[in-house]
Amino acid sequence: MTTYRMPAEWAPHAATWIAWPHNREDWPGKFQPIPWVYAEIVRNLSRVEDVHILIDDDATERRATGILRRNGATLARVHFHQRPTDRVWLRDSGPIFVKDSENRIVITNWKFNAWAKYDNWRRDDQIPHHVARLYSLPEIKPEIALTKGKAHRIVLEGGSIDTNGAGALLTTEECLLSEVQQRNPGVSRDQLEQAFQTYLGINQTLWLNRGCAGDDTHGHVDDIARFVAEDTILAAVEPNADDENHLPLAENLDRLRGFRRTHGAQKGKPFKIVELPMPAPVAFEGQRLPASYTNFYIANGLVLVPTFNDANDRRALNIIAECFPKREIVGIHAVDLVWGLGTLHCLSQQEPA
């Protein structure tokens, strides 16, 4: 039987996949600066690895190329693929790359339905299949047998999980088990854990409770907790008892401190937990936004971290730098970007080397 394993994000990359911003409704009234934020992201990524960009058409590619050139991106490492998308959040709609028992790359094509919230998702749901055909890679569509043997293609977004590459996975009950924005009706916790084991090589699922305030995905884990090493988890905390993030993050921190490793040489030992502050609340037009430093992206020799013109920016950058002493830490201004209800991790998907 073929086995699969999802490498950790800090493992070597062949490339990063993103989609060029085009849907003005994702940033209503604030779209103009967004392509320039993307250009800064691509400028940094193209210094250390290839960047594959899904783009709508010839005209958009010409405009994007001009913006990237003016911003100093390494265009030789930028590769455009004309493939229309509904939105640009490739962490959730893009392929989740895994490796098989022979160390070959395989694409897992989980169903995407726009967080069980929006109607326009069908083009995004085709992205993993498109990438698999482009690369001539094997493609798996994870399924579960429901009652009476009916096959159910599992809905799973990359932002709802985080793995250490050694069999442990973080997720939240709010996202995967709640009846609100319910991804997989009729699918149990045990069935999801079995799917994680079968398709991602996971032998321990760490269930947190809720995500952060302002998150329209209803509980993505990449805004509250991330693995930074096989035995280390970076956890968002909010000491201000009047902030709506205070109690959910405190409960998650308690759970994290109580987890013990269940496999390998470290069996029975706790994970190391490093606390990461949250920025002060970020709002626009009266709406609380999911601003969080844990939405960083780990690239080859580099970590991109969202910043918010906040006093905690420096603290967060320093804490993340201590977790990745051999990588350059680069802050990316994300006050405009987060109006789209996501930042750096949400828009990127790593392709392992």
**What is the rounded CA–CA span in Å between residue 313 and residue 335?**
12
Question: What number is the average pLDDT over the span 204-221?
Answer: 97
- Three-state DSSP class for 161? coil
* One-letter amino acid of 60: T
pLDDT at 148 over 90: no
Give the single-character DSSP code of 329.
Answer: E
Whole-number average pLDDT of the chain: 97
- Three-state DSSP class for 54? strand
pLDDT at 149 over 80: no
- Strand bridging mode 302-307 / 105-108: unpaired
**What is the rounded CA–CA span in Å between residue 149 and residue 183?**
19
Residue 150: pLDDT band with limits 50, 70, 90:
confident
0.85 exceeded by pTM:
yes
**What is the rounded CA–CA span in Å between residue 153 and residue 145?**
9
Burial state string for 22-31 with b = 16 or more CB within 10 A and e = fewer than 16: bbeebbeebb
Instruction: Please report which helix (H) or strand (E) contains residue 33, including its range.
Output: none
Block residue for tokens 């999802």: 6
Question: What number is the average pLDDT over the span 1-25?
Answer: 95
Residue 137: pLDDT band with limits 50, 70, 90:
very high
pLDDT at 56 over 80: yes
pLDDT at 22 over 90: yes
pLDDT in tens, 161-203: 999 999 999 999 999 999 999 999 999 999 999 999 999 999 9
What pLDDT is stored for residue 192 in this prediction?
Answer: 97
What pLDDT is stored for residue 146 in this prediction?
Answer: 83
Helix axes 58-70, 34-45, angle to 10 degrees: 70
Torsion, CA 308, CA 227, CA 21, CA 154, rounded to 10? -140
32 burial class (0-12, 13-18, 19+ CB within 10 angstroms)? exposed
Give the single-character DSSP code of 156.
Answer: -
pLDDT in tens, 267-324: 999 999 999 999 999 999 999 999 999 999 999 999 999 999 999 999 999 999 999 9
- Three-state DSSP class for 344? helix
Question: What number is the average pLDDT over the span 119-143?
Answer: 97
Q: How much of the chain exceeds pLDDT 90, in percent?
A: 96
Range of the structural domain that residue 19 is part of: 4-352
pLDDT at 206 over 90: yes
Count the domains in the chain: 1
End-to-end distance of the chain based on CA atoms, in angstroms? 23
pLDDT at 351 over 90: yes
Q: What angle do CA 204, 227, 9 make, to 5 degrees?
A: 100
Residue 2: pLDDT band with limits 50, 70, 90:
confident
Question: What number is the average pLDDT over the span 62-88?
Answer: 98
CATH of the domain at 246: 3.75.10.10
What pLDDT is stored for residue 276 in this prediction?
Answer: 98
